[in-house]
Amino acid sequence: MYEHLKIEERGMVAIMTISAPKSLNALNSAILNEIGEYLDEFDTQRFRCLVITGDGEKSFVAGADISEMAGLGPEHGKTFGRRGAEVFRQIETLPCPVIAAVNGFALGGGCELAMACDIRICSENAKFGQPEVGLGIIPGFSGTVRLSRLVGMGMAKQLIYTGKPIKADEALRIGLVNAVVPQAELMDKAMELAGQICANAPLAVAAAKLCINTEYDMDAEEAIAFENQAFGMCFSTEDQKNGMQAFLTKGKCEFQGK
């Protein structure tokens, strides 16, 4: 169905692998459009978590496709950037959690893709960076927005201004990734985490994601009020009734997403 994506389904977890080995999975318009199409059709009733990774052991996504960008003028450059930003925003706002399993280079658009995910786990050989200024451009898929929110303004400026990549251990130290594991254990760790998420009430997880994403730019009073609305909504679900009853009776609840 897709030329550059491999889709696997494991129970309530979907795995999307970006596959363009010759370019180290670099993102071009065709790949961005395929990701957007997949997300447009993503069944959040069936899947409670999405894992995104890259094909091979060398690269998650090496960046955006420079061969496509090299000949662009200002308007076409803006259009290309907007499409990447739109697709990454789809990932960020997908109701279910998205885990990036970063299996190598995550540079430029690859780092931006990882940052659009909720949680980032990487292999020991992973490298992260925003090298765009060395090409005469800036991060164009919302990298200047998300990087500072994840690692702080000072560190984001250093990474973007210098364009220098960092290794997995440094990415963990500054809070860019949640965990570093051996390459051979990466997908197992991602699936273990996805399984822990899937065991919980999906409507509650979706509400928590919405709150965290939405409240970031609100002042404290607005954010607290927004959370209160979402908290109250949870009490209209069967999952809440069944989950609390199971707790009180020391039973086990299989959440249905209702």
**Known catalytic residue at 132:** yes
Residue of 8, 37, 75, 132 marked active site: 132
Q: b/e map of 152-161 (b: 16 or more CB within 10 Å)? A: eeebbeebbe
Closest listed residue to residue 66, CA positions, set 23, 16, 12: 23
What is the C-alpha separation between 21 and 249, in angstroms, rounded? 52
Closest listed residue to residue 135, CA positions, set 98, 104, 113, 160: 160
- How wide is the angle at C-alpha 87 spanned by C-alphas 202 and 95, nearest 5°? 10
**Known catalytic residue at 9:** no
Strand 166-167 to strand 127-129: parallel, antiparallel, or no bridges (unpaired)? antiparallel
How many residues are recorded in the chain? Answer: 258
Residue of 8, 9, 92, 112 marked active site: 112
**Which positions are catalytic?**
112, 132
